[in-house]
Amino acid sequence: MTYKETIERLYTLQNPEKVAFKEKKFGVISNNSLGIYHSELKKIAKEIGKDNGLALQLFDSGIYEARILCSKIFKPKDVTVDLMEKWVKTFENWEICDSFSMGLFTKSDFALEKILEWTKRKPEFEKRAGFTIMAAYCMADKLSDNVVFEAFFPIIKREGNDERVYVKKAVNWALRNIGKRNPDLNKKAILVAQEILETESPTAKWIAKNALNELEKDHIRMSDYPRAIYRR
């Protein structure tokens, strides 16, 4: 599919009512949006396949949905630090932040580097991107030892008092995903959540309580990674 054909396809799906609905229902506030649901973009991405050149053109179009499509057709292993920095600075809501962070950045060679760097950032969606990569990495990396994920706990404790909705939700998400990786990390994540619960920050307490509600369930579903150890 050419750039012209892709843009024309997007415009055939344009629906201004969906722009308003997504903003009201899901808090997705976006500039230059056509009003196309994520599920429809996934179908188009599947038709296109991986195409880095087209992805770059789509991003530079400035059309919101074209940028989300970019995140779905660019090859993760071809992502560079410069591209990551260019893209992350444009994120204007959680939807596009998560589309790039989960589907592309987590699978890149720079995932761990950006977790450490971006979780310190001030802009809301740059910081969320760091924690979204962290949450997704817990499921994407099926082989690494627990020490890799234990290193995330100090970051979670450090940033757990950020009151911004889309940051605190991502911090909580990361803590829960670490705790669902395997039984040993589950125990450690519970201990970390209990430590956070003792802090004075209402935001940190919310993160901890929400995480414990899931992590302390009797029949919590574990990924059991790495399975060579946890499913022998």
| % of the chain surpassing 70 pLDDT | 100
Which residue reads 């229902």 in tokens? Answer: 25
**Contacts (Cβ under 8 Å, ≥6 apart) of 186:** 179, 180, 215, 220, 222
Mean pLDDT of 10-22: 94
The CA-CA-CA angle for residues 196, 119, 132, to 5°, reads 90
At residue 26, the pLDDT reads 86
| % of the chain surpassing 90 pLDDT | 93
Both structure tokens of 23: 């903003």
> Is residue 232 pLDDT above 90, yes or no?
no
Architecture in CATH of 91-232:
Alpha Horseshoe (1.25)
Q: How far apart are CA 150 and CA 189, in angstroms?
A: 9
At residue 224, the pLDDT reads 96
CB 167 within 8 A of CB 93: no
Per-residue pLDDT reduced to its tens digit, 116-132: 999 999 999 999 999 99
> Is residue 209 pLDDT above 90, yes or no?
yes
Give me Rg for the CA atoms of the chain: 19
Both structure tokens of 108: 């890149």
What are the domain boundaries of the chain?
Answer: 1-74, 91-232
Q: How far apart are CA 25 and CA 170, in angstroms?
A: 19
Per-residue pLDDT reduced to its tens digit, 134-148: 999 999 999 999 999
Spatial CA neighbour of 10 closest among 31, 34, 30: 34
Per-residue pLDDT reduced to its tens digit, 45-97: 999 999 999 999 999 999 999 999 999 999 999 999 999 999 999 999 999 99
Q: How far apart are CA 105 and CA 135, in angstroms?
A: 12
Q: How far apart are CA 145 and CA 140, in angstroms?
A: 13
